[in-house]
Structure 1
Amino acid sequence: METIAKIKIEKLVFPHEEKPALKNIDFEINQGDFIVITGGVASGKSILLHAITGAIPHYHNAELTGNVTIMGQDIKDMRLNRMSDYVGYMMQEPHNQIISLDVYEDVAFGLGNLEIPFNQIDQMVKDTLEFVGLTGYENRRTASLSGGQAQRVVLAGVLALNAPILILDQPTAELDPKGRYELYHRLGQLNKAQNLTIVLVMDRIEEVLNYANRVFYIRDGEIVKQYSPEEYYKDQIEHRKGRLNYNTSFNTDHRKSNEIIAEMTNVSYQYKNNLLGCEDIRLEIFKSDFLSIIGLNGSGKSTLAKLLIGLLKPSKGEIKVFNRPLNKENLTEIRTHVGFLFQNPDYQIFASTLEEEVGFSLKLRGEQNEVINQKIDECLNFVGLLDYKKMHPHRLSRGQRQLLALASILVSDPDFIIADEPTSGLDENQGYMIMDKLFDLSKNGKTILLITHDLTMAKIYSNRLVALHNHRIQLDISTKDLNQYFDTLTAIGLNSHNNISFREVENGTFYA
């Protein structure tokens, strides 16, 4: 195989930091490779991609000792805007990479800069949107896209440039099971049919192992082991099985009350561009429920959650929370008892340090400084961020920022917690740690509404599951009866091939 990139980084150090972010990195990328890089939160995965693409040192200021060469050229000597000739790069946060108001213009933007004739651009945009499963979305406003749809739009724009190396940072983090399977399958086809070289970072990689030929595990900025996909799977299966067996021993039928704390009656919501958010929702949420809402991207999950917190006003129907109508008069009081964790943590992080972020709501309430400081430390310690409490939040990784957002919610001790994909961007251990805490809160009388794509998480932790399909509630069942609805969930795309399904969890197997 032809070597098309060489990465040799003795160390990479950011200003005012003593500890290197990367060290002892030495590997080559061959044409046609499908490399998967995995590791824990803040292990250096995304920083390594920044170094390969030239974002470090050309955009992010850092001292890099060593050399990174692409197609025989040292990236230090290349202009950053020419890197697109060699590398297509999809960043971890899709909304940070969307620059246009509608989907067509966003995908076409890079092609237009290359001065390609319009008729060719038009065909390339349509072809790439079809490839990522978004045919018919050309005129959709980018602001109205779900997280998964935004991720597909960004990928389409990257693929349209037809670079020989594709570098993807968490490309399926916000996709539903069907979307993940389809995207990995299509990337595998590109890799085999066109000999496209792919380097992909993911926290949870089991679904992509069938398409990869190399796996790198990174810890503390260093690649500590290189695997074949088969070796990685064998190394991880016993740990995964033990973790799942532990969690499936939880008693998920734990509701202690029939008190209704939230109720939606015939609720519908339509966005200004006539895009349907949800339709005719009838839902009761009980005290101490651990309720999981599942559904494909764009099915209305996040819309439903935003309606419950009053971020959106229903086009039709009525919502009650804590037995009071959710309206302008009651909204402020109701929100003091509800915690909302956004799918993107950056939507709710604004302070200059972690301790300021977590303590903000307590200061608004007029709590004593001693109490505030104690609660800040308790919550930051719980999410594993206590050592960073003086740090600016945007120096954290995506997963760490998600943990920070959770801490800022828990510090106010809400009665009702709405968590929109709280494990997005986290490795498996961090994800289970958050879910364990949410489960403990529900056992102690808190009510949890979880939005997730992960049927395994829903099976393990929830006492109840609601499935949305085409903006309506398709199922509302006890999770103990989940196996009876296996075929229904598969039919609506929520238990696709190559996913670790709830049936596989119970059988103790993980691959078909």
Structure 2
Amino acid sequence: MEPAVQLKIESLAFPPETKKVLKDIDLTINKGDFIAITGEAASGKSMLLHSITGAASQFFNGQLNGTVRVMGQDIHAIPLAKMCDYIGYMMQEPQNQMVSITVEEEVAFGIANMELPWEEMKDRVKKTLQFVGLEGFEQRNTDGLSGGQAQRVVLASVLAMETPILVLDQPTAELDGKGKRDLYSYISYLNKEKGITVIMVMDRACDILPYTNRILIMAEGTIREECSPGDYQKRFNQTRPTPNMTAVNEKLNEKSNEILMKVKDLSFTYKASFKGCENISLEINYGDFIGVIGLNGSGKTTLLKLMEGLLVPDAGAIQIFGKPLTKRNLATIRSQIGFLFQNPDLQIFANTVKDEVAFILRTRKLPEEEIEEKVNGILAEVGLFAYADIHPHRLSRCQRQKLAIASVLVGDPEIIMADEPTSGLDEEQSTLIMELLSAFQQQGKTVILVTHDLSLAKQYTNRIVAMHKHHLALDIATQKIGFFKKTLKEIGLDFQKEGIAYGLH
């Protein structure tokens, strides 16, 4: 078969550091392949994609020993700006890839630089937005999109370029279950019907096994193994971690009935009259572990930001710790809340991992010896102790998520509000994050978790709150979720379609 991408990489490093980020890679990707690349955190998956696009050596100034060829050409003979003629690239974090104010402008940006006729540009924008399920979003501001909607917009802008190769880094990390299935269907159609070569990094490669023809497993900067989708599925079924929920369930049975937070008739509208939340009323008790679920754009993140005080409601009121949330007491209340953004980069700013975790402790003027002990302890707990002295943005996406939760946990808040803290993580890593949150909750603390991972919501929470079209559609005890199978399906949530057996037959 004719090759689309050929890599013979002896090593890739970033001077002055000598550590090899990639090494001993000999890989040929044929035209029409659908490749899934998986592996543990910091195994080199994203950097392999950067090598294919040319960004590793031409943008990040990496020292590449070896050759990379795309469509028969050495990448060093292709100016980086011209690589878009061959490759459509989608980053892990969609917000880092958007440059325009409106959705229509964003999708048109790349093809405008191709100097296409105006009518063809408009036609491509319309078709690609329809293709990703965002018809009617043309005039929406990009900064008001949910994480899943932003991911679809970026995908549309990439697809509009009509390149022969798609390179996608965790393209479904922020999508709900339906959105994931739709996206896999879109990409599969392009692969099978249009002959487009697809190279996709996935921490949970099992999600796309029906669509791929090759699975690459990376470890320590190299391709450790290649296997068929069938063989990978067998291995996944054998090694899938099963959390021990006995202690969690025992603790949930002992939770307090004392009200921690009361939300009454809460509404919020974004610019351009786009609804975020409408008439939400909700009570949260001390010791609750609440899972907030719903489709992309249903209002989950908006609700979380209102409860934390990041947004000011248009109507309604919030009471926390027995006091109304106001501008006057906002700082005091926030000091008792740990907030985890959907994108960890929005809350990481220090120059080293240890300084990031230490920041909140230093604002409290604790002795340095105590700070060091606490920081080392939490970094060891989340598996980042070995990275204490490096810059946070040299960590992988999942490591940065671990860093964000470590920075929250070290401050010992009363509440943790977590917006998709396991997005982009594999099963084992997700379990680690959830066990950390569970241990926090078992101390009598409260967790409010926004998630698209319905299995985690079922395993760890004691209450499920379902959002639908900016309203509160369901608020039930988790163990009763099987009785609401019909209601969940009506609002677009189906546990069985997620591949999870919960006795909802």
> CA deviation digits over 1:314-333, x for unaligned, max 9?
11001011110000111111
The structural deviation recorded for 1:205 is 2.0
Counterpart in 2 of 1:355?
A: 354
Q: Give the match's secondary structure for 2:253.
A: coil
Tell me if the contact between 2:5 and 2:68 (Cα under 8 Å) persists in the aligned partners. yes
Moved more, 483-492 or 206-215: 483-492
Helix, strand or coil for the counterpart of 1:212?
Answer: coil
Q: What amino acid maps onto 1:485 in structure 2?
A: F
SS at match of 2:284: strand
Q: Conserved in 2, the CA contact under 8 Å of 1:181 and 1:496?
A: no
Match of 1:194 in 2: 194
Q: Take 2:70 and 2:247, find their aligned partners in 1: how far apart are those partners?
A: 50
What's the offset of the Cα at 1:45?
A: 0.4
Give 3-state SS (helix, strand or coil) of 2:127's partner.
helix
Q: What letter matches 2:435 in structure 1?
A: D
1:209-358 to 2 correspondences below 5 Å: 209-240=209-240, 243-244=241-242, 246-247=244-245, 250-251=248-249, 253-358=252-357
What do you get for the CA RMSD once the two structures are aligned? 1.5
Q: 1:8 to 1:433 in 2, by over 3 A?
A: same
1:114-141: per-residue Cα shift (whole Å, max 9, x none)?
Answer: 1111011101000000001100000000
The answer for the alignment partner of 1:468 in structure 2 is: 467
1:410/1:464 CA distance change after superposition, 3 Å:
same
C-alpha contact 1:248 1:460 (8 A) present in aligned 2: no
1:510 is aligned to none
The equivalent residue for 2:98 is 98
**Aligned AA (2:452):** H
Structure 1: how far apart are the matches of 2:112 and 2:217? 38
SS at match of 1:83: helix
Match of residue 375 from structure 1: 374
Displacement, 1:77? 1.7
Provide the C-alpha distance between the structure 1 equivalents of 2:11 and 2:174, rounded to a whole number of angstroms.
32
Work out the CA distance in 2 between the residues paired with 1:248 and 1:203: 27
1:127 and 2:159 equivalent? no
- Displacement of 1:86 in angstroms is 0.7
Seen in structure 2, the aligned counterparts of structure 1 residues 466 and 60 have a Cα distance that, compared at 3 Å, is: same
Return the offset for 1:168.
Answer: 0.3
For residues 498 and 227 of structure 1, the distance between their equivalents in structure 2, rounded to whole angstroms, comes to 25
Unaligned runs of 5+ in 1: 508-512
Q: In the alignment, is the contact (CA less than 8 A) between 1:207 and 1:498 conserved in 2?
A: no
Q: Is the 8 A contact 1:217 1:223 kept in 2?
A: yes
1:335 alignment partner AA: R
User: Secondary structure of the equivalent of 2:271?
Assistant: coil
Paired with 2:90 and 2:496, the residues of 1 have a C-alpha distance of 25
The secondary structure found in structure 2 opposite 1:503 is coil
Could you tell which deviates more after superposition, 479-488 or 330-339? Answer: 479-488
What is the aligned partner in structure 2 of residue 182 from structure 1?
Answer: 182
Corresponding residue SS for 1:273: helix
Give the letter aligned to residue 274 of structure 1. S
CA contact (8 A) 1:420 1:450 kept: yes
Offset from partner CA, 1:202-226 (integer Å, 9 cap, x none): 1112221110110001011111111
State how 1:15-164 maps to structure 2 within 5 Å: 15-164=15-164
Any idea what the Cα deviations from partners look like across 1:47-104, whole Å, max 9, x if unmatched? 0000001112110111111111011111022111111111111111111110100010
- Identify if the C-alpha distance between structure 1 residues 244 and 483 changes in structure 2 by more than 3 Å, giving closer, same or farther: farther
CA deviation after TM superposition for structure 1 residue 245, in Å: 6.3
Letter in 2 for 1:436: E
TM-superposed deviation, 1:17? 2.3
CA deviation vs aligned residue, 1:12-58 (integer Å, no higher than 9, x gap): 11113232111111111111100000111111100000000111211
Matches of 2:13 and 2:66 in 1, distance apart? 12
SS of the residue corresponding to residue 212 of structure 2 reads coil
**Superposed displacement of residue 248, structure 1:** 7.7
Residue 502 (structure 1) shift: 4.7
Q: Report deviation, 1:266.
A: 0.6
Q: Secondary structure at the match of 2:12?
A: strand
Identity across the alignment (%): 51
Q: Does the 8 A contact of 1:178 with 1:496 survive in 2?
A: no
Contact 2:87 2:167 in 1 (8 A): yes
Task: Give the whole-Å Cα distance in 1 for the aligned partners of 2:329 and 2:117.
Answer: 56
Q: Do the aligned residues in 1 keep the contact of 2:33 with 2:213 (CA within 8 Å)?
A: yes
What's the TM-score once normalised by structure 2's chain length? 0.97
Q: Matches of 1:7 and 1:53 in 2, distance apart? A: 11
SS for the counterpart of 1:175 is coil
> SS of the residue aligned with 2:42?
coil
* Structure 1 SS opposite 2:84: helix
Is residue 495–residue 501 contact of structure 2 (8 Å, CA) maintained in 1? no
Distance 2:103 2:260 in 1: 39
The superposition leaves residues 179-215 of structure 1 with CA deviations (integer Å, 9 ceiling, x where unpaired) of: 0000001111111111111000011122211101100
Task: Tell me by how many angstroms 1:267 deviates.
Answer: 0.5
Q: Equivalent residue for 1:427?
A: 426
Give the 3-state SS of the residue equivalent to 1:191 in structure 2. Answer: helix
